[in-house]
């Protein structure tokens, strides 16, 4: 009962005794100091475990955020690069489609040029359109002359009205200066004046075939082609009759929609000559081969043969 007060009053001595005894006991038992090391290590590891977990989680979070930030920047730059690539590809695609169209057109033109043996055609590119006229890149230096016809594979375009050195102006079927001799293909009926011309409005898409005899059989949907007497080769498409107007006179007139829309053309042909060349008409020349046939007897009299 008096132990605690005694210890309390002699605390330093008690502490000395306790520590000395514990030390002696430890030395007697030869307790290796590694036990302290191990205990400290385990305690430290156990104490540090939550902090390690927190540190790992925070490091992962920071890495995630940094990755997200860097990833965002990378994605942004990559997106910009992709957008740039996409724009270039779209431009290339557009150019490719344009080249494809051009290629198809040129193939059609080539096929047309090969098929139309009766025509001598000069290909030309359209430089511009204005009020029913076209400007093409072929002129006098290329052999173009006024009044030459201009066609495409689809039909008649118009007539050359002005010729420059390296460019020419084409009056299309929408222009009042263009008159094309035409007839209805089905029954070869012609108008009284024999032409198809632009209607009253310069910019109208409708051409007119005037002075059709009231008794002539002309119907809506009839195809109008060039007449043999025109500057174009005969039976070449001019357009289609879309409406026939009746009047109280002896004449009727019809609206003709041209076969070719001149405002959507990129290339045309100038008809340099509408018939085959004499050499082509004559065909190939026979090769001079020596004949083995006996010469024909000369039946002339001697006087005729030898008299001066």
Residues contributing to the site for another protein (CB under 8 A) = 11-13, 15-16, 19-20, 22-27, 30-37, 40
Nearer to another protein by Cβ, of 32 and 84: the residue is 32
Bridge partners (DSSP) of residue 149 are: 159, 271
Nearer to another protein, 12 or 284 (CB): 12
Shorter beta-carbon distance to another protein: residue 7 or 223? 7
Output the smallest distance, CB 45 to another protein, in A. 16
Cβ of residue 8: shortest distance to another protein, in angstroms?
Answer: 12
Interatomic CA distance for residues 137 and 176, integer angstroms: 22
**Residue 108: Cβ within 10 Å count:** 14
User: CB 29 → another protein: shortest distance, Å?
Assistant: 9
- Distance separating alpha carbons of residues 209 and 215, to the nearest angstrom: 15
> Minimum distance between the CB of residue 21 and another protein, rounded to whole angstroms?
10
Identify the bridge partners of residue 135 per DSSP, sorted by sequence position.
128, 169
Task: Report, in Å, the least distance between residue 76 CB and another protein.
Answer: 50
What are the backbone dihedrals phi and psi of residue 165, each rounded to the nearest 5 degrees, phi first?
-70, -45
* Closer Cβ to another protein, 13 or 75, answer by number: 13
Spell out the residues 6+ positions from residue 175 whose beta carbon is closer than 8 angstroms to its own.
131, 132, 133, 158, 198, 202
Contact present, 213 and 194 (Cβ < 8 Å): no
Least distance CB 43 / another protein (angstroms)? 13
In eight-state DSSP terms, residue 241 is E
CA nearest neighbour of 172 among 191, 198, 146, 143: 198
32 vs 245, beta carbon nearer another protein: 32
Instruction: For another protein, give the closer residue by CB, 4 or 293.
Output: 4
For residue 52, the minimal CB distance to another protein (Å) is: 22
Closest alpha carbon to 193 in 174, 214, 212, 219: 212
Name which of 19 and 54 has its Cβ closer to another protein: 19
Cα–Cα dist 240/220, whole Å: 8
Closest CB 25 distance from another protein, rounded Å:
8
Q: Are 268 and 134 in contact (CB under 8 A)?
A: yes
Closer residue to another protein in complex, CB, 5/12: 12
Report the largest interatomic distance among the alpha carbons of the chain, rounded to a whole angstrom: 192
The closest of 172, 232, 260, 243 to 208, measured between CA atoms, is 243
The C-alpha atoms of residue 154 and residue 140 are separated, in whole angstroms, by 25
Q: What angle do CA 271, 276, 279 make, to 5 degrees?
A: 135
């Amino acid at each position: 009962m008096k132990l605690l007060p005694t210890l309390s009053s002699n605390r330093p001595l008690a502490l000395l005794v306790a520590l000395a005894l514990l030390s002696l006991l430890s030395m007697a038992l030869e307790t290796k100091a590694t036990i302290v090391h191990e205990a400290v290590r385990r305690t430290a590891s156990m104490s540090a475990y939550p902090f390690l977990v927190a540190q790992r989680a925070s490091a992962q979070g920071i890495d995630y955020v940094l990755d997200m930030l860097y990833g965002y920047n990378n994605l942004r730059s990559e997106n910009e690069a992709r957008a740039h690539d996409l724009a270039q590809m779209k431009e290339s695609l557009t150019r490719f489609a344009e080249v494809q169209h051009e290629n198809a057109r040129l193939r059609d033109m080539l096929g047309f040029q090969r098929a139309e043996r009766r025509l001598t055609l000069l290909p030309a590119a359209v430089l511009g359109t204005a009020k029913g006229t076209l400007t093409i890149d072929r002129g006098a230096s290329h052999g173009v002359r006024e009044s030459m016809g201009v066609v495409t594979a689809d039909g008649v375009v118009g007539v050359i009205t002005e010729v420059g050195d390296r460019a020419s102006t084409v009056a299309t079927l929408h222009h009042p200066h263009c008159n094309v001799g035409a007839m209805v293909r089905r029954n070869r009926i012609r108008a009284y004046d024999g032409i198809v011309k632009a209607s009253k409005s310069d910019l109208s898409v409708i051409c007119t075939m005037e002075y059709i005899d009231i008794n002539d059989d002309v119907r809506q949907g009839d195809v109008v082609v060039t007449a043999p007497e025109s500057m174009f080769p005969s039976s070449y498409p001019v357009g289609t009759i879309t409406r026939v107007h009746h009047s109280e006179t002896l004449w009727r007139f019809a609206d003709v929609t041209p076969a070719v829309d001149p405002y959507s053309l990129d290339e045309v042909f100038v008809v340099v000559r509408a018939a085959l060349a004499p050499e082509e008409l004559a065909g190939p020349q026979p090769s001079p081969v020596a004949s083995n046939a006996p010469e024909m007897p000369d039946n002339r009299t001697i006087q005729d043969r030898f008299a001066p």
